[in-house]
Structure formats: structure tokens, C-alpha cells
């Protein structure tokens, strides 16, 4: 049973401006493991990576129903990639989390569907 749905879209140029010499932004948004992946990226690929993670975490917080704040912070959620490159969202939840991230030249978008783990 679906227990939550969240979606978020963000302009890549907004993230690019926030990344411009601002390490604090990445420390606030990305976990340590995500920052180590980001350290290997440059230019547009870095912007897409950070924007995708930002959108995914926002979408998750919307699916949970709280938004980013006291109950769910950006650092409570981590996005990894499986062996095929598919993004996988890791968070402190008993629900099954389905995540999709996409990019265009101008935007990154993410959708999260939470499914009850009890069948």
C-alpha cells in the first residue's frame, strides 16, 4: 500500500549559484559519503549531482509529510547508487522507498513513493 508520495523540482542554475565557493552549502545538504562522491565531480556533472540529491531529499520529506525541518533533515537522508547506477534512498524508515531522479539542461526532478513494508 502506498503511504506517501513526494516530488520536487529545482533549477540547476539555483544550485550552481549556491555551490559557487560555498562549501557550507554542500555540508548542509550532503552526507559525508555523498560529499566524497561529489569531490570527484566537476562542472555541470557536480551541479546535476547536488541538485538531484537536493530534489530527492526534498521529495522524501514531502512523502513523509513533514518537509525538511525538525523531523527530517537533509543529513538524515542519503542517496546511494546500486550496482547498476540506480539511485537508492537510505533513511530511518520501515517503509519501502522508491526513488527516481532525472535531469534536463535546466532542471533536476525527483519523485519518491513510500510503500508500507507490511503486506
**Segment 14-72, tens digit of pLDDT:** 999 999 876 789 999 999 999 999 999 999 999 999 999 999 999 999 999 988 988 89
Residue 83 cell numbers, joined = 550496482
Helix ranges (H only) for the chain are: 12-19, 23-29, 32-38, 43-64
Query: Is 62 known to be catalytic?
Result: yes
Domain 2-115 has CATH 3.40.50.300: no
Query: Is 98 known to be catalytic?
Result: no
Over residues 103-118, mean pLDDT: 95
Q: Is residue 78 marked as binding?
A: no
- Please say whether the beta carbons of 56 and 89 come within 8 A: yes
Looking at 17, 62, 80, 98, which residue is catalytic?
Answer: 62
The 10 Å CB-count burial string (b at 16+, else e) for 77-107 is bbbeeeeeeeeebebebebebebebebeeee
Amino acid at each position: 500500500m502506498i503511504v506517501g508520495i513526494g516530488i520536487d523540482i529545482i533549477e540547476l542554475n539555483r544550485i550552481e549559484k549556491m555551490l559557487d565557493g560555498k562549501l557550507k552549502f554542500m555540508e548542509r545538504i550532503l552526507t559525508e559519503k555523498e560529499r566524497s562522491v561529489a569531490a570527484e565531480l566537476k562542472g555541470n556533472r557536480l551541479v546535476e549531482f547536488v541538485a538531484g540529491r537536493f530534489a530527492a531529499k526534498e521529495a522524501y520529506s514531502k512523502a513523509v509529510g513533514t518537509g525538511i525541518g525538525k523531523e527530517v533533515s537533509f543529513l538524515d537522508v542519503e542517496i546511494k547508487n546500486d550496482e547498476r547506477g540506480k539511485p537508492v534512498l537510505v533513511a530511518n524508515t520501515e517503509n519501502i522507498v522508491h526513488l527516481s531522479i532525472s535531469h534536463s539542461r535546466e532542471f533536476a526532478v525527483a519523485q519518491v513513493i513510500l510503500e508500507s513494508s507490511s503486506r
